[in-house]
Structure 1
């Protein structure tokens, strides 16, 4: 009888331990889904000179803080991979990520998409804005006017200014589409990584590179300093549409706070001061809800890049 009692007590202990572990796990899981920031850290990556972007982004701290009722800190990161890692380690709550940056973050369980940016459409030639708001844009390949390079076919062996590998317009889409056409620029051209699409435009203008992969129409970023840039640097290729940039959030953020945050960003985009700020940051004109499945085209292009890098 004593032996049976010991066995039953042992089984009871095991059951209680498993039950407690399950409860603990359930509690942890619940906590991960209910993260509500007491202060908010928002990360940007320069698409232009970092000092200019940081100065233009600073007003967002005050605007968001007023709407959310918590302190907000805006920070600059050197590239999108850094932002993804910071979100993964829970050091950054909100990231302004391009499509590829978001896809990478979501794949790693670091972020969920909250909103997508709206931009004015671009009319070519001349790279001027239209009055239509669109949820996609294109990448373009630029060369110096008068260059012997007239087609993407002539980029073999040439020096090309690009952004980091998580930049949709500055890397992924041009590289993937040229691969589909039969040109492996990773192997057959010299890619030079630069910081900012404005720098890529200037590198072409100054003859530091033969071409550049940038978003359409990045030439406007330097028009203030180089008024005739549209005549001196010209596009020779445009990619298919790319989903616009995202505002992405930590994957453990609570649904209630996500809703509050989305409302705040949308309202900021509609206000006069807020609209001027976001337009100066990334030429954003406002924000709208978006689904993860809207970025499947990006995943397709990422697979092309992965295959190309394996064959490099």
Structure 2
């Protein structure tokens, strides 16, 4: 190689080196880089799963933007995912910073993609079978099957061959726990019933009321969500069975987010849940009454249930 060619070669290498350094600097400046480095958010994107009609839920969630911006002093954008899987994919592809994830979606994002760290769990009031609240805050809840009051379905065993309204397969209350309950009765949730996958527990309740489904798997008690549209929903439906307890929903953040910012976001949501205005908002969104610190081991029971369902 001639000296002239050598000089050109070294110059080209130096340009590549400088470009690489510039790229590294850019990714550290509030960008969700995929090279394993931590990042500091210069704005925050928060996404919810569509436990009810997505447009309705987004309208309820939007006021959180101002409260979180006041807490964190950065811009915040709140949105609702198109389905349960898309919020997991958004975390995995680093399109969002924070996800409100049901337990199974959290485990999927954490275990399969290494894309989520749980920081908080929601708290709710317990619910009686008539839809009224208890006065006890709990960190777990039940899923339940409902059917029309005049139906001949009175137990899980009676669900064989029936059309059941489910949620996405990553929905803890809308699929995983109910599917396990069916399996306990020797009923295959894929072949021994007619699955009807819907978006939103309100849609599942409505499907039972209008005869589209014989039964529905819903969180306890999702009938309250449709009470304004169907005032007689508790008289027109009955509870067939409850599942085992499910850990409450999570707030999870990007794994590679700066640790100091994880703590800031954790405290921001705790403060929001403790304020009168904030609690009213999160209660309207997901019936949350506030948030408590959480850890990954709380969801080992979720992993056990997921393995059961995957083995069917």
**What pairs up with 1:131-150 in 2 under 5 angstroms?**
131-150=135-154
Cα-to-partner distance string for 1:185-237 (whole Å, 9 max, x where unaligned): 21111101111101100100111100000000010001111111111011100
**Structure 1 residue ranges (4+ consecutive) displaced by more than 6 angstroms after TM superposition:** 28-31
Kept after mapping to 2: 8 A contact 1:44/1:75: yes
Pick the aligned partner of 2:101 from 97, 110, 122.
97
Confirm or deny that 1:110 pairs with 2:121. no
Q: Hey, what's the Cα distance between the residues in 2 that align with 1:33 and 1:64?
A: 25
Matched, 1:190 2:194: yes
Does 1:231 find its partner at 2:245? no
Residue of structure 1 equivalent to 2:220 = 216
Say whether residues 1:180 and 2:205 are aligned partners.
Answer: no
Structure with the higher helix share, 1 or 2 = 1
Contact 2:272–2:278 (8 Å) recurs in 1: yes
**CA shift at 1:177, angstroms?**
2.1
Aligned residue pair count: 282
Number of the residue aligned with 1:6 = none
Are 2:163 and 2:194, in contact at CA under 8 Å, matched by a contact in 1?
A: yes
Q: Summarize deviations over 1:143-172 as a string: whole Å, max 9, x none.
A: 001101111101111101000001000000
Pairing of 1:270-309 with structure 2 (within 5 A): 270-308=274-312
Distance in 2 (CA, whole Å) between partners of 1:99 and 1:274 is 23
Q: 1:119 aligns with which of 118, 124, 129?
A: 124
- Per the alignment, residue 155 of structure 2 pairs with 151
1:7 alignment counterpart = none
Quote how far apart the aligned CAs of 1:182 are: 1.3
Distance 1:261 1:293 in 2: 21
| Structure 1: distance between partners of 2:49 and 2:245 | 21
Q: What corresponds to 2:259 in structure 1?
A: 255
In the TM superposition, what whole-angstrom CA distance separates every residue of 1:84-125 from its partner, at most 9, and x where no partner exists? 11111110100000000000000120111010000000122x
SS, match of residue 188 in structure 1 = coil
Q: SS at 2:292's partner residue?
A: strand
1-side partners of 2:173 and 2:110: how far apart?
Answer: 19
Task: Give the Å deviation of 1:32.
Answer: 3.3
Q: Any stretches of 5+ residues in structure 1 without a counterpart?
A: 1-23
Does the residue aligned with 1:186 lie in a helix, a strand or coil? coil
**Residues in 1 aligned to 2:126 and 2:195: alpha-carbon distance in whole angstroms:** 28
Mapped to 2, the partners of 1:200 and 1:31 lie a distance apart of 41
Partner of 1:9: none
**Distance (whole Å) between structure 2 residues aligned to residue 123 and residue 277 of structure 1:** 23
The question of whether the paired residues in 2 share the 8 Å contact of 1:32 and 1:253 is answered with no
Query: Where does structure 2 lack aligned partners over 5 or more consecutive residues?
Result: 1-23
- Tell me how far apart the structure 1 counterparts of residues 243 and 207 of structure 2 sit (CA, whole Å): 21
What is the TM-score when the length of structure 2 is the normalising length?
0.88
Structure 2 distance, partners of 1:151, 1:30, is 49
Instruction: Report the Cα distance in structure 2 between the residues aligned to 1:30 and 1:217, rounded to whole angstroms.
Output: 40
Match of 1:128 in 2: 132
Does the 8 A contact of 2:201 with 2:218 survive in 1? yes
Contact 1:201–1:218 at 8 Å: present in 2 too?
yes
